Amino acid sequence: MGLEIAFWILAVIGIGAALAVVLLSNVFRAALCLVLCFLTVAGIYVTLSADFLAVVQILIYVGAIAVLIILAIMLTREVQRGSPANKLRIPAFFVAILFLGTVVGTVGFAMVKDQWRLAGVAPLEPTTPALAGKLFGEGGFILPVEIAAILLLAAILGAIVLVREK
């Protein structure tokens, strides 16, 4: 019962944060709300006994993507002003509605056609050590992860060099 309450509290906070990301005119505050949204998704993973996904969510999205977005926002000028009024708002609205209809239709079709099997109980053993062993153990993916980290670091350093003033 306690996990269900925590799930619904996190879901409401996550939806509020996602709406704030879209509706706030201050880009920096919208990025901070995006971080809150990522954290609530990690909390939802914890309530669903998916501890490995929660850790990955925090490490990758909160720790890397959100920091990169905030760094990019802080390196740009006129953050407080946000985006100016655009003449393409109405066409963008219709494209967004079309995209939303496509996504909802596809998900609805998948939900109706698939036979969903639900587990009655949470896993007895923690899943994180088994998944980490498969990913980073013998024959794992540690080398590609390290190469990706080096490439991301090089990209961030290159972006800083490009945008800094002389």
Listed ranges 86-90, 113-117, 120-124, 145-149; the one with the highest mean pLDDT: 145-149
Position 52 in a domain: yes
Cβ neighbors of 132 (< 8 A, separation 6 or more) are: 52
Residue pLDDT, tens place only, 57-115:
998 888 888 888 877 777 776 555 555 666 777 888 899 999 999 999 998 888 888 88
- Residue 66 is predicted with a pLDDT of 82
Print the domain residue range for 66.
Answer: 1-81
**Of the residues 25, 56, 81, the one at which a domain ends:** 81
Secondary structure of residue 166 in the 3-state scheme: coil
Domain with residue 59: its CATH number is 1.20.120.1200
**Of the residues 14, 47, 81, the one at which a domain ends:** 81
Is pLDDT above 80 for 22? yes
Position 16 in a domain: yes
Instruction: Give the number of domains in the chain.
Output: 2
Dihedral sign computed on CA atoms, order 129, 135, 139, 145 = negative
Is 149 found in the same domain as 77? Answer: no
